[in-house]
């Protein structure tokens, strides 16, 4: 079986998340790691990396996905996540 | 553009770091400017000091490099005394007490809880017996690994000890090779066991014979670019060079200069020479070495001895370590003692040194399987030596599950790890010993437990590879392991196949028990090693070999030890940490 694609250590943003993969005719759930990365030196972009545990998946080959964000895009995402988090918190407070 | 670390190194690196460390020792922890911590901690590594993790500020791990793990009893005693006096922290370890030494997979020694204020005194003590922390870490020639019993082993082609001493003396403290793009790990093997584990080193000298001018010459084949880290494991590649022992220093100088000049200094993730070998191919490494770095014609590779290798090879017909009693070439014996996870209490270190001296031993050896060897025990003394009380704890004939375990440092001290390692591996081994039948014929079973993907416990080359992860159990996040099977070195080195992910740490012993039961039931016979058994099966079969299971094993470290300041403290919360402390261990006032 294939090894993980992403490294996982104490600096990984999330080493344990619930995730799913969906396509035409398949949908599977698995644990996942999610990491925010920037270059050590003079970073110009942010990379979001996601990998679902390949041992749990039959519909897709072992892999990781990456999305590259500009600083503005990362801030937009952060704002939306913040707003969404507030709404979830508000639900919990009801 | 050169990386940040390269810029720090350009400012200050190599031998000169010693003076700065001595200044900080004099002035105290507070004298290290806070905004320069990262730069100084990077530089300190060159002199063998790693800053410990979050919650343990002002404390350092100190590494002492011993070429091929070889020491005198006097040196070992000094290590024990230094550990006892200086390597004690605010809280004892529940398995190992207040002071201990770690024997590492690269035949070095690690001590923890070192205060910078004590550095000068520690160096005085170590250097008075010929030990040093120079280049134990950092971007340069690391400790050279190989068989500690070279020259004594009755089963060797070449005694490499004089060659290794020459390499050590040439490349330690040598400004020409002090600042390499990344670490430079060298292995030299002269025995028939493959005990140098050269396959996982940047530069490997493997024993070989070659006919030159009608004469059969014993020397080395040269392999380059092995290593396990960064989730990019590679075995060292054959560059088709045979090297006489007298040319080893020239070839090593050439290859480390080639790495110095052509290695990647812009991206540390891509800096190890294994990536240069990927890019160039072994043929170009050879041709550049020949054309630019050596001034004699390099012979092509000779005939190797790999089919005889048994060290960590997972063979059914030989144990893959030095544990036990073995013949020396001079008629005496060397005795390999099992040190579970490589950690030995400081008092035991001192007692072992005294014992070795009392029996006339002139050599102590640390092995890459984190064990220790006492050399030079005479036949007539052997029974008495084996009957010594200390050998009931560190046995030359241990239970198979107490024999084959390696563990990295883990969340106890390491910044990268996400799980507790050494104490857990000790508990696993004891549980397996007490509860799980050993398949007939199995004498050693290698479990390598690493706290993250950095591979410090060499998880890819074990019968069972455990690598730290997290999972969810009963609604809570708990420490867990990915599991690999069937890795090992030997004639045909093989990395483990990863077959399970996120097994909760408390279910790993049950998984191993089930796995071994399947192995014993389904193997062709006792002659089929576990490694061969794994190699004969496809992915689906391997995944189906066993399931994880709760047993009577209890795991006290299931929670998130990464978030503690020290996993074994009464109050583990970060706020409860006394760090940073002054040289006497008293907490320093915080800035805020």
Task: Tell me the residues of chain B between 215 and 274 that have a Cβ less than 8 Å away from chain A.
Answer: 230-231, 266, 268
Distance CA B106, CA B372 (A): 13
| Distances, alpha carbon B417 to alpha carbons A12, A70, B53, B68, in Å | 11, 30, 10, 27
Within 8 A of B500 by CB-CB distance, chain A residues are 55
Looking at chain B, which residue has its C-alpha nearest residue A10?
A: B416
B543:A2 CB<8 A = no
B231:A4 CB<8 A = yes
> What string of DSSP letters covers B387-412?
TSTHHHHS-SS--HHHHSEEE--GGG
Distance CA B476, CA B494 (A): 36
Distance CA B329, CA B333 (A): 9
Within 8 A of B542 by CB-CB distance, chain A residues are 1
Q: What angle do CA A84, A86, A92 make, to 5 degrees?
A: 110
B467: left (phi > 0), else alpha (psi -120 to 50), else beta?
Answer: beta
Q: Is the peptide bond before B592 cis (omega within 30 degrees of 0)?
A: no
Is the Cβ–Cβ distance between B508 and B557 less than 8 Å? no
- A37 to chain B, closest Cα gap in Å: 13
- A43 to chain B, closest Cα gap in Å: 12
Task: Tell me the residues of chain B between 383 and 422 that have a Cβ less than 8 Å away from chain A.
Answer: 411, 415-418
Q: What is the pLDDT of residues B178-195, one digit of tens each?
A: 999 999 999 999 999 999
Within 8 A of B497 by CB-CB distance, chain A residues are 1
Q: What is the pLDDT of residues B392-440, one digit of tens each?
A: 999 999 999 999 899 999 999 999 999 999 999 999 999 999 999 999 9
pTM of the model: 0.95
Number of H helices, E strands in chain A: 1, 4
State the complex-level ipTM.
Answer: 0.92
Within 8 A of B546 by CB-CB distance, chain A residues are none
If you ran DSSP here, which 8-state letter would residue B307 be given?
Answer: G
Each of the 592 residues of chain B gets a pLDDT tens digit; together they read 778 888 898 888 889 999 999 999 999 999 999 999 999 999 999 999 999 999 999 999 999 999 999 999 999 999 999 999 999 999 999 999 999 999 999 999 999 999 999 999 999 999 999 999 999 999 999 999 999 999 999 889 999 999 999 999 999 999 999 999 999 999 999 999 999 999 999 999 999 999 999 999 999 999 999 999 877 899 999 999 999 999 999 999 999 999 999 999 988 889 999 999 999 999 999 999 999 999 999 999 999 999 999 999 999 888 889 999 999 999 999 999 999 999 999 999 999 999 999 999 999 999 999 999 999 999 999 999 999 999 999 999 999 999 989 999 999 999 999 999 999 999 999 999 999 999 999 988 999 999 998 889 999 999 999 999 999 999 999 999 999 999 999 999 999 999 999 999 999 999 999 999 999 999 999 999 999 999 999 999 999 999 999 999 999 999 989 999 999 999 999 999 999 998 888 888 765 4
- A91 to chain B, closest Cα gap in Å: 20
Q: Which of A41, A47, A53 to mutate to test the interface with B (most CBs of B within 10 A)?
A: A41
| Distances, alpha carbon B527 to alpha carbons B37, B54, B403, B441, B447, in Å | 55, 48, 20, 8, 20
Query: Would you call A38 an interface residue with chain B, using a CB distance cutoff of 8 Å?
Result: no
Q: What percent of chain B has pLDDT over 70?
A: 99
Q: Which pLDDT score is estimated for B591?
A: 52
Query: Would you call A66 an interface residue with chain B, using a CB distance cutoff of 8 Å?
Result: no
């Amino acid at each position: 079986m294939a090894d993980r694609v992403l490294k996982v250590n104490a600096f990984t943003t999330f080493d344990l998340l619930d995730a799913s993969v969906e396509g035409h005719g398949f949908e599977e759930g698995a644990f996942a790691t999610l990491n925010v990365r920037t270059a050590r030196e003079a970073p110009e972009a942010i990379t979001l990396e996601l990998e679902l545990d390949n041992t749990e998946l039959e519909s897709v080959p072992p892999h990781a996905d990456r999305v590259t964000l500009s600083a503005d895009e990362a801030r937009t995402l952060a704002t939306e996540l913040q707003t969404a988090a507030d709404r979830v918190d508000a639900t919990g407070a009801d | 553009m050169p990386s940040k670390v390269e810029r720090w190194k350009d400012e200050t690196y190599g031998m000169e770091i010693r003076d700065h460390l001595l200044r900080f020792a004099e002035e105290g922890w507070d004298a290290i400017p806070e905004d320069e911590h990262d730069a100084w901690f990077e530089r300190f590594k060159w002199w063998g000091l790693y800053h410990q993790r979050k919650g343990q500020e002002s404390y350092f791990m100190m590494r002492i490099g011993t070429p091929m793990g070889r020491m005198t009893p006097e040196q070992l005693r000094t290590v024990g005394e230094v550990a006892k006096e200086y390597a004690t922290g605010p809280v004892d370890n529940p398995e190992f007490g207040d002071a201990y030494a770690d024997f590492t997979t690269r035949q070095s020694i690690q001590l923890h809880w070192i205060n910078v204020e004590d550095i000068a005194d520690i160096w005085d003590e170590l250097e008075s017996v010929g030990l040093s922390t120079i280049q134990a870490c950092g971007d340069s020639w690391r400790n050279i690994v190989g068989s500690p019993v070279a020259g004594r082993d009755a089963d060797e082609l070449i005694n490499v000890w004089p060659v290794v001493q020459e390499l050590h003396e040439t490349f330690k403290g040598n400004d020409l090779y002090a600042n390499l793009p990344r670490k430079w790990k060298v292995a030299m093997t002269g025995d028939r066991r493959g005990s140098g584990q050269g396959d996982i080193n940047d530069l490997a000298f493997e024993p070989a014979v070659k006919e030159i001018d009608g004469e059969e010459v014993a020397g080395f084949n040269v392999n380059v670019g092995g290593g396990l880290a960064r989730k990019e494991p590679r075995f060292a590649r054959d560059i088709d060079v045979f090297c006489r022992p007298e040319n080893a220093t020239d070839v090593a100088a050439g290859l480390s200069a080639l790495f110095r000049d052509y290695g990647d200094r812009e991206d540390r993730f891509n800096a190890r020479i294994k990536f240069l070998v990927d890019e160039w191919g072994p043929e170009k490494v050879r041709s550049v070495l020949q054309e630019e770095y050596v001034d004699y014609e390099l012979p092509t590779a000779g005939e190797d001895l790999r089919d005889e290798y048994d060290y960590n090879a997972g063979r059914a017909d030989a144990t893959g370590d030095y544990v036990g009693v073995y013949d020396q070439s001079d008629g005496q014996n060397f005795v390999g003692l099992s040190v579970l996870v490589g950690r030995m209490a400081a008092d035991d270190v001192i007692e072992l040194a005294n014992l070795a001296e009392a029996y006339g031993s002139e050599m102590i050896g640390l092995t890459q399987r984190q064990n220790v060897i006492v050399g030079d025990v005479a036949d007539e003394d052997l029974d008495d030596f084996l009957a010594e009380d200390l050998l009931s704890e560190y046995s030359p004939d241990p239970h198979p599950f107490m024999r084959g375990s390696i563990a990295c440092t883990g969340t106890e001290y390491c910044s990268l790890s996400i799980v507790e390692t050494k104490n857990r591996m000790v508990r696993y081994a004891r549980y397996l010993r007490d509860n799980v039948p050993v398949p007939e014929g199995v004498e050693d079973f290698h479990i390598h437990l690493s706290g993250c993907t950095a591979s410090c416990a060499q998880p890819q080359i074990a019968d069972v590879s455990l690598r730290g992860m997290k999972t969810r159990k009963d609604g809570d996040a708990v420490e867990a392991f990915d599991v690999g099977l069937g890795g090992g070195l030997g004639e045909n080195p093989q990395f483990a196949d990863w077959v399970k992910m996120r097994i909760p740490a408390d279910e790993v012993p049950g998984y191993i028990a089930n796995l071994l039961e399947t192995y014993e039931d389904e193997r062709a016979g006792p002659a089929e090693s576990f490694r061969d058994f794994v190699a004969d099966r496809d992915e689906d079969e391997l995944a189906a070999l066993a399931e994880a299971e709760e047993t009577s094993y209890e795991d006290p470290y299931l929670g998130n030890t990464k978030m503690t300041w020290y996993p074994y403290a009464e109050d583990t919360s970060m706020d409860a940490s006394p760090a940073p402390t002054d040289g006497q261990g008293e907490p320093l006032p915080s800035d805020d």
